[in-house]
């Protein structure tokens, strides 16, 4: 289980000036990413359906041969063989969080070290996409605990590495947008599991806090999820997180003032909803 807190977000979401990025360019990139997100999801779903149909027609020996051939082309994907396969219901094997995290960390480190080589960033994107696909498949099989664990890993990695990787503002917004959808699915599937529900809310709030701290406009849909979906008791918990975040805001004008305004708006809505 990963723990998110305002201090975690603030310590990893530095200002754009400190990172040498142009805020308007970053926000424009994220806007374009958001517009492309739905299109890419539809395209990916169609391709996956076609691939699944083709694989179902293959014999076991053929599938093994295909996997070997693919690993020759993409040896970095060998780690996938060590992960539990998504099946309907609860996983037979626990999720190896260290395995997923290490794959992302290795790809991030390589992208930073070889910042002028686009191929390393492509490898990072492919690694993230493979892990996203794994989480989505767990969710589709109603193994929400496994899916949630992977979405948490992706959320943590995206926030932590957003400004560390060259053109990270082009890579990680899609990851975070994807995680928002996935986390919402896990929340709906958790129902009576209070611990899982709180983990989902914590991850959503981490994305929202990062969005405010970095002026990235990533979490515009999150307030509705934090207000409309939780129980009155859960809204009280979220309100506590908002108050903690307000206390930890830096003592400077500008971005902090905008953060404060949005946090206070969210807090007001949570408190108002709690009274109804």
Residues 40-51: tens digit of each pLDDT: 555 555 555 677
Contacts of 40-43 spanning 24+ positions with Cβ under 8 A: 40/174
Whether 210 is covered by a domain: the verdict is no
Question: Which alpha helices (DSSP H) does 5-117 contain, by range?
Answer: 6-12, 16-19, 23-56, 60-73, 97-113
Domain range for 157: 18-38+69-191
Specify the pLDDT at position 18: 45
User: Nearest Cα to 242, choosing from 273, 264, 271?
Assistant: 264
Whether 197 is covered by a domain: the verdict is no
Specify the pLDDT at position 40: 53
Whether 5 is covered by a domain: the verdict is no
Terminal alpha carbon distance of the chain: 33
**How confident is residue 69, by pLDDT bands cut at 50, 70 and 90?**
confident
Whether 175 is covered by a domain: the verdict is yes
Whether 201 is covered by a domain: the verdict is no
pLDDT digits (tens, 9 = 90+) for 139-172: 999 999 999 999 999 999 999 999 999 889 999 9
CA distance 253 to 272: 28
Whether 181 is covered by a domain: the verdict is yes
Specify the pLDDT at position 49: 63
Average pLDDT over residues 67-72: 84
Whether 60 is covered by a domain: the verdict is no
Q: Cβ–Cβ contacts within 10 Å for residue 121, how many?
A: 22
Percent of the chain scoring above 90 in pLDDT:
53
pLDDT at residue 136 tops 70:
yes
Whether 58 is covered by a domain: the verdict is no
Please tell me the total count of domains within the chain: 1
């Amino acid at each position: 289980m990963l723990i998110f807190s305002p201090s975690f977000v603030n310590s990893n979401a530095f200002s754009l000036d400190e990172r040498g990025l142009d805020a308007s360019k970053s926000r424009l990139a994220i806007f374009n990413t958001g517009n492309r997100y739905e299109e890419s999801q539809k395209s990916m779903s169609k391709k996956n359906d076609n691939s699944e149909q083709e694989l179902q027609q293959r014999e076991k020996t053929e599938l093994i041969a295909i996997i070997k051939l693919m690993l020759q082309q993409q040896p970095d994907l060998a780690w996938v063989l060590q992960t539990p396969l998504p099946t309907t219901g609860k996983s037979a094997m626990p999720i190896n969080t260290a395995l997923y995290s290490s794959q992302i960390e290795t790809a991030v480190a390589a992208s930073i070290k070889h910042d002028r080589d686009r191929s390393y960033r492509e490898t990072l994107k492919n690694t993230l996409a493979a892990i996203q696909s794994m989480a989505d498949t767990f969710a589709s099989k109603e193994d929400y605990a496994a899916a949630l664990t992977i979405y948490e890993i992706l959320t943590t990695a995206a926030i932590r590495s957003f400004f560390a990787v060259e053109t990270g503002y082009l890579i990680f917004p899609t990851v975070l947008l994807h995680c928002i959808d996935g986390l919402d699915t896990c929340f709906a599937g958790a129902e009576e599991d209070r611990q899982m529900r709180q983990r989902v809310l914590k991850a959503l709030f981490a994305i929202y806090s990062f969005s405010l701290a970095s002026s990235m406009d990533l979490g515009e849909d999150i307030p509705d999820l934090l207000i409309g979906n939780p129980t009155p008791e859960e809204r009280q918990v979220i309100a506590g997180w908002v108050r903690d975040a307000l206390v930890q805001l830096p003592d400077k004008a500008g971005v902090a003032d905008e953060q404060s305004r949005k946090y206070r708006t969210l807090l007001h809505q949570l408190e108002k909803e709690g009274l109804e």
